[in-house]
Structure 1
Amino acid sequence: MGADVVLAEPPAGHPLRFEPPFASDEPGSERSLLHAYANWNKRSVIVDGAAAAARLASDADLLITTALVPWPAVVQAAVEALPEDAVHISITPHGLEGPLAATPGNNLTGCARSGWTFMTRFADEAPLQLPARQTGYLAGVAAFTAAAAALFRRARGGGGMRIDVSELEALCSTTAPFAMQGIFKDDEASDYGNSGPGVRGGPSQLFPTRDGQINLGFSEWGDWAGAMQALDLPDLAEDPDYADPARRRQADLSYLRSRVGEAVRDEPCSDVMHRMLKLRCLSGVVQDMERLRHDAQLAAREYFVPTQVLGQEAYAPGPYAHSPQLPWGVHRPAPALGEDQDAIAGERASEGRSASLPEASPAAPAARPLSGVRVLAFTPNWAGPWASELLALLGADVVQLEAPTRPDRWRGGGEPVPEAVRDPSVKQHRLNTCALYNTINLGKRSLTLNMTHPRGEEIFWRLLPKFDIVIENFSPHVMRDWGISLDRLSARRPGIIWASASGYGASGPFVDYPAYGASIEPMSGLSSIHGYVGDEGSNTGGIIPDPITGYYFAAAVLSALNQRERTGEAIRIDLGMQAAVATHVGDALLEYEVTGRVRRPAGNRHPRFAPHNVYAARDGEWLALAAESDAAFAALAVQIGRAELAEDSRFKGEAARKENEAALDEIIAAWCRDQEADTAEASLGSIGVCAARARRLREVFSDPHPQLLAREYLRSVRHPEAGSHRMPVGPWRLGAGAPTPGPSPCFGEHSQEILREELGIDDAEYAELLALGVTGAVHDD
């Protein structure tokens, strides 16, 4: 996005330089493909002590650190040298405060603590992590989002601030809606996600075909009869249990899955997918890195961008969103170690730092950096609401728009008020008591508006000048059908930001195809690298694409907000879910580009470290455990009563341990079988070993780890109809901490308030709008 980013490296080099995969499979400080992907456009300097770190930080606008507390001297010096108006972002496994602040963690233990390992596992097999490095990608975009908000506040006269990002909280936020649904419904099956526990060889979200695997999303198929005819299953076309979408969502689909599975087994997966999608029936094929690299949709949207790896041109994931007004681009490859030492030293000597910005205004406190920003949100389901909730948690005034006769499906559809929240003393409505909706719409207001009615359309255009952003995640044709364009929007509200997210974006051959998380996951390449060792690939439950997209959607909006602050121009954002999720397989794609090797699922293993696995404990629980350094392994060896292992030639050094990983796993597994998971977690964490008991999804939120409470990530939020529940309030702490947000709104709860305050609509006119079906709330009588 145009920032001058300086990678401050120790003399040995940044840790990513030593992360596999490597060009030609030869380790070296300039050969890591993860470094090549994550560090392009940056400059490199070697920082050899606290004094050098202080000099470098003394004129920074933004400092990013990843050190645990207590900080080493070089980090402490950099933080202390920052100008008063600078922003400091800390990204650590558990945050800078709380009982786990000094405890190491990684993708494996984060997945264990957040409930992910239970959601992705097969029954009777070990809990399973998300593919390696997903935690880093998620925490990175979460940090970017908060940093962009802080810099926006700073540009408006605010001062500096510290942003404390927790990788664990970034992960927990991706599971929260289904965890809370399980709590509201008291449903044990929700510990395994939205489709229950998987069984090896049994039904799954992916069906085998002649040349790969395919996802078929029965619950959201539009032309059911057409799909059954296309699959040569005419007897199922009129079956009432399946033809009616509401009944289909509640039915036992085992017989249907068996019949469809047989129908597609010998068919080419892409042929089946296109037949279904043309009927607006959700589907997506598992694309490994070779298929992804040649994906027609991504190619049409010019997603892949060239970079250089050791002088060789290679293509990697590029912009996840299109915007003619935003300066996205790859301008230089990842730097060599210390490549810019002399140039940066010269700049620091000659230029100095520009004058500081004014002190913060009371209207934009550090905990609410988007205070004063106003958002109109047409954001149903998950990805869009999560993005707009992030904006609300950062202080924006978000007005959620819904059609009076077509509520957000995440309000529960026809489901009754859940038993666990039913309260006879309170007037309750099923649209206001669904955990899915109530978890990801905190702090917003709700306005119902019928955009197909002339009065509803008129109200939208009257409201528009009072808002800064229109954000929506409809199919691309919807806004077009309403006559909405950037030209028309900006004519009514100069400088408007119009941000859209859809499955594949608003251009390309897939533009009119429907999508959802479980089809985007395989289409993005993520499913191809997820699963146990030896698997062909599997979905994570189809859950992760929506929150990934929501994070990137919010990041794009905040990039636009900062750009508009500089230029004043209207900005259009067009984001595709497929591209956003494919960002998270960038290192795997670059591996294919440079080495020709197609990455496959690695289970709980890490490409570099061993031991790195999930082990059965004595008490029936599971322990995620990883030693990421020689020192950590030596401490582990002592802890398990086998100090001699640190000097055993099979395990002496990182490479040796990885080569003998199977033998090492047997030793660790034998020890874990005699341990209680919680006790082992605590003792290992205290000596620098990554360790965590694998927690069930509901437990993460109903009986949370003290870390999540100490950081106030989970706060008691009282909803007027669903009651009080601990809700997640964002994966960061801003300054001294943000106030507890308001609950998610009831359906149409603020309609009269907003129309009165913004447009002066009185009681009589509001009653007229109710009668016309233009607006209203469920309790309007």
Structure 2
Amino acid sequence: MNDSLPLEGIRVIELGTLIAGPFSGRLLADFGAEVIKVESPDKADPMRNWGKEKDGVHLWWPVQARNKKSITLNLRKKEGQDVLKELVKESDILIENFRPGTMEKWNLSYEELSEINPRLIMVRTSGYGQSGPYKDRAGFGSVGEAMGGLRYITGFPDRPPTRVGISIGDTLASLFSVIGSLTALHERSHSGKGQMVDTAIYEAVFSVMESMIPDYLLSGYIRERMGNILPGVAPSNIYLTKEGTFIVIGANSDGVFQRLTEAMGKPELANSQKFSSHIARAEHMKELDMLIEEWTKTLSAHEALEILDEKGVPSGLIYSVKDIVEDPHYKSREMIIHLEHPELGDFPMPGIVPKLSRTPGKVKHTGPEVQGKHNDDIYKGLLQYSEAKLEVLRANNII
């Protein structure tokens, strides 16, 4: 493995707060980009106070802020806007997730910034995108999940729509923003020019909605809430075990289904008219799920999964965080890493995805625990400001 990180030499300015913008910054920082997080001197990123708390430290912030630097800068004032423009001259990517029009109000539009640095890639993540009739609306991840179609199909048919247990709309948008920024970086290596990356949260959600559009427009089918099953796919469900826990089994292809019937001790089911084909199993899904659960309820989760694994049937326990922490595969893949936190000591957090064979990413630290921790590093070092100039900026509440 190479000790250098693949995005070393790329400087990123991270504006915005909470998840949709900052998660993009975290992902780029994991692979070596220098990410400079900009926070207002009088208003920190609310993420600093999110999540559970231990000894006065909120536990979400170190995960989101890892590997980043922090400076303070008041973008509502012209002096702060001028400082940002000087940073833009020295940077490759700018990430923001404000409501469209905010950067323009601050004289920091893409047109103005690209005149200063034609190579700049400006990554803009918002609820509805930078254009269209809804662009000025306030947009949170939850709203994007609803408009993108995810909320409508999540839950059980006899209950109202529910949410996924995480901020999936924000994180999906962040992932697409990172794809856009890396794509633009690659294109810049040929053209020498930057560009704007426009990611809408609702579009990021909509993009992963599989065949929903042709299903409706070509066959008139509207996918509804189906609980734990997939429409037309069987068996693919969760099943109760003897000790009251659930396991998930996916055995919808013919070959895998045959192996499942062997695991159940009922190989004759694979040849029965009701279950012998993909279409037949979908038509008799409820009956089939009942037969499978009759079998799983006679076994502990461990016993059932051991048998299914021996037969090559995709299956698994529905993990709680306790199961994740104790699982040897997570440990082997370094998916729970430990860093030294300045106040809490050992600090566990998720590892890096994806894993590169030659230049893997790395988490070097748990992020800036105070706003403006790297003001001197950036303002004195990168921008070569004198102490006298910094004193003026402080006196004017710019930093």
TM over 0.5: yes
Q: Which residue of 1 aligns with 2:181?
A: 557
Work out whether residues 609 and 657 of structure 1, in 8 Å CA contact, stay in contact via their aligned partners in 2: yes
Work out whether residues 153 and 225 of structure 2, in 8 Å CA contact, stay in contact via their aligned partners in 1: yes
Q: For residue 563 of structure 1, what is the amino acid of its counterpart?
A: E
Counterparts of 2:210 and 2:88, CA distance in 1: 38
> Where does 1:143-542 land on structure 2 (aligned, <5 Å)?
365=2, 368-412=5-49, 418=53, 421-422=54-55, 433-535=57-159, 537-541=161-165
Counterparts of 1:593 and 1:745, CA distance in 2: 50
**For residues 766 and 704 of structure 1, do their structure 2 counterparts lie closer, same or farther at Cα, with a shift above 3 Å needed?**
farther
Q: For residue 627 of structure 1, what is the amino acid of its counterpart?
A: A
Q: Does 1:626 align with 2:263?
A: no
Work out whether residues 522 and 539 of structure 1, in 8 Å CA contact, stay in contact via their aligned partners in 2: no
Work out whether residues 367 and 735 of structure 1, in 8 Å CA contact, stay in contact via their aligned partners in 2: no
Counterparts of 1:441 and 1:394, CA distance in 2: 14
**For residues 728 and 495 of structure 1, do their structure 2 counterparts lie closer, same or farther at Cα, with a shift above 3 Å needed?**
same
Q: Alpha-carbon deviations, 1:516-544, whole Å to 9, x = none?
A: 12222111111112222455633325721
Work out whether residues 81 and 107 of structure 2, in 8 Å CA contact, stay in contact via their aligned partners in 1: no
For the residue of structure 2 that corresponds to 1:670, the secondary structure is: helix
Bigger mean CA deviation after superposition, 452-461 or 593-602: 452-461
Q: For residue 706 of structure 1, what is the amino acid of its counterpart?
A: P
For the residue of structure 2 that corresponds to 1:735, the secondary structure is: coil
Q: For residue 374 of structure 1, what is the amino acid of its counterpart?
A: R
1:545 to 166, 169, 172: 169
For the residue of structure 2 that corresponds to 1:558, the secondary structure is: helix
Q: Which residue of 2 aligns with 1:694?
A: 318
Q: Does 1:745 align with 2:382?
A: no
Work out the percentage of aligned pairs sharing the same amino acid. 29
Q: Alpha-carbon deviations, 1:680-717, whole Å to 9, x = none?
A: 22431342211111122x3255x242222211122112
Relative to the length of structure 2, the TM-score reads 0.92
Counterparts of 1:366 and 1:720, CA distance in 2: 25
Work out whether residues 384 and 550 of structure 1, in 8 Å CA contact, stay in contact via their aligned partners in 2: yes
Q: Does 1:577 align with 2:201?
A: yes
Q: Does 1:706 align with 2:328?
A: yes
Which sections of structure 1, spanning at least 5 residues, go unmatched? Answer: 1-160, 162-364, 423-429, 776-781
Q: CA deviation at 1:574?
A: 2.1
Q: Alpha-carbon deviations, 1:389-416, whole Å to 9, x = none?
A: 1111122111111101111111117x9x
Q: Give aligned pairs, total.
A: 397
For the residue of structure 2 that corresponds to 1:717, the secondary structure is: strand
1:592 to 216, 220, 229: 216
Q: Alpha-carbon deviations, 1:360-404, whole Å to 9, x = none?
A: xxxxx5872211111111031111111111111122111111101
Q: CA deviation at 1:556?
A: 0.9
For the residue of structure 2 that corresponds to 1:590, the secondary structure is: helix
Which sections of structure 2, spanning at least 5 residues, go unmatched? Answer: none
**For residues 521 and 715 of structure 1, do their structure 2 counterparts lie closer, same or farther at Cα, with a shift above 3 Å needed?**
same
Q: Alpha-carbon deviations, 1:179-234, whole Å to 9, x = none?
A: xxxxxxxxxxxxxxxxxxxxxxxxxxxxxxxxxxxxxxxxxxxxxxxxxxxxxxxx
Counterparts of 1:535 and 1:611, CA distance in 2: 23
Q: CA deviation at 1:763?
A: 4.5
Work out whether residues 66 and 363 of structure 2, in 8 Å CA contact, stay in contact via their aligned partners in 1: no
Q: Does 1:774 align with 2:398?
A: yes
Counterparts of 1:597 and 1:646, CA distance in 2: 29
Q: CA deviation at 1:619?
A: 1.7
Work out whether residues 713 and 728 of structure 1, in 8 Å CA contact, stay in contact via their aligned partners in 2: yes
Relative to the length of structure 1, the TM-score reads 0.48
**For residues 740 and 487 of structure 1, do their structure 2 counterparts lie closer, same or farther at Cα, with a shift above 3 Å needed?**
closer
Work out whether residues 503 and 520 of structure 1, in 8 Å CA contact, stay in contact via their aligned partners in 2: yes
Q: Alpha-carbon deviations, 1:446-470, whole Å to 9, x = none?
A: 1111122343223212222111111
Give the root-mean-square deviation of aligned CA atoms: 2.3
Q: CA deviation at 1:764?
A: 5.0
**For residues 492 and 440 of structure 1, do their structure 2 counterparts lie closer, same or farther at Cα, with a shift above 3 Å needed?**
same
1:729 to 328, 351, 370: 351
**For residues 682 and 407 of structure 1, do their structure 2 counterparts lie closer, same or farther at Cα, with a shift above 3 Å needed?**
farther
Counterparts of 1:444 and 1:704, CA distance in 2: 29
Work out whether residues 678 and 692 of structure 1, in 8 Å CA contact, stay in contact via their aligned partners in 2: no
Q: For residue 364 of structure 2, what is the amino acid of its counterpart?
A: P
1:673 to 297, 310, 316: 297
Q: Which residue of 2 aligns with 1:183?
A: none
**For residues 533 and 688 of structure 1, do their structure 2 counterparts lie closer, same or farther at Cα, with a shift above 3 Å needed?**
farther
Work out whether residues 529 and 599 of structure 1, in 8 Å CA contact, stay in contact via their aligned partners in 2: yes
**For residues 370 and 768 of structure 1, do their structure 2 counterparts lie closer, same or farther at Cα, with a shift above 3 Å needed?**
same
Counterparts of 2:71 and 2:339, CA distance in 1: 21
Q: For residue 188 of structure 2, what is the amino acid of its counterpart?
A: R
Counterparts of 1:366 and 1:667, CA distance in 2: 54
Q: For residue 391 of structure 1, what is the amino acid of its counterpart?
A: L
**For residues 681 and 756 of structure 1, do their structure 2 counterparts lie closer, same or farther at Cα, with a shift above 3 Å needed?**
farther
Q: CA deviation at 1:548?
A: 0.7
**For residues 570 and 626 of structure 1, do their structure 2 counterparts lie closer, same or farther at Cα, with a shift above 3 Å needed?**
closer
Q: Alpha-carbon deviations, 1:107-142, whole Å to 9, x = none?
A: xxxxxxxxxxxxxxxxxxxxxxxxxxxxxxxxxxxx
> Which consecutive segments of 4 or more residues in structure 1 shift more than 6 A?
none
For the residue of structure 2 that corresponds to 1:375, the secondary structure is: strand
Q: Does 1:638 align with 2:262?
A: yes
Q: For residue 618 of structure 1, what is the amino acid of its counterpart?
A: K
Q: Alpha-carbon deviations, 1:449-503, whole Å to 9, x = none?
A: 1122343223212222111111100111211111012232122222111111111
Counterparts of 2:258 and 2:25, CA distance in 1: 46
For the residue of structure 2 that corresponds to 1:476, the secondary structure is: coil
Counterparts of 1:676 and 1:379, CA distance in 2: 48
For the residue of structure 2 that corresponds to 1:695, the secondary structure is: coil
